[in-house]
């Protein structure tokens, strides 16, 4: 059985991003950040994919849009965590640029889903 979210490009890219963030943070972040920046970055990346999944499972557009907004906010949080890691010297400019490309690759289809869900909430003209 295939779940509906599995066909979404937004989820596929968010899922790839989570794996990349997890592996990168494991390899590059220091041990003393395990319960701080490492955990926060991983949880934010996980939240992007998880909220797309939950939003896709919702029946009503209002609920779907809310979960997609949360995913969008989590994606922004991932980007900031990676920025902080670069500034702290945990990531090289090259590492940061590579993972930021994945963030942007996840952002485009997620933004499209969000706009679609929010567009369905707009009041329809009555024709009067």
Q: What is the mean pLDDT of the chain?
A: 94
pLDDT of residue 126: 61
Give me the mean pLDDT over the 73-95 stretch: 98
125 in any annotated domain: no
pLDDT of residue 1: 80
Report residue 127's pLDDT band, with 50, 70 and 90 as the boundaries. low
Residue holding tokens 């922004």?
A: 76
Give me the mean pLDDT over the 54-59 stretch: 94
2 in any annotated domain: no
128 in any annotated domain: no
Distances (CA, A) of 31 to 12, 28, 44, 82: 29, 9, 19, 16
Q: Is the pLDDT of residue 26 over 70?
A: yes
124 in any annotated domain: no
Domain containing 27 equals 7-119
Q: Is the pLDDT of residue 74 over 90?
A: yes
């Amino acid at each position: 059985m295939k779940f509906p979210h599995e066909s979404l490009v937004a989820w596929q890219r968010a899922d790839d991003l989570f794996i990349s963030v997890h592996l990168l943070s494991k390899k590059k972040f220091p041990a003393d950040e395990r319960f701080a920046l490492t955990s926060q970055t991983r949880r934010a990346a996980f939240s992007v994919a998880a909220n797309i999944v939950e939003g896709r499972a919702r029946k009503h557009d209002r609920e779907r849009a809310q979960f997609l907004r949360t995913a969008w906010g989590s994606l922004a949080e991932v980007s900031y965590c990676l920025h902080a890691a670069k500034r702290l010297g945990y990531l090289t400019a090259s590492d940061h640029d590579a993972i930021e490309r994945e963030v942007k690759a996840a952002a485009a289809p997620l933004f499209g889903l969000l706009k679609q869900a929010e567009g369905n909430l707009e009041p329809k003209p009555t024709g009067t």
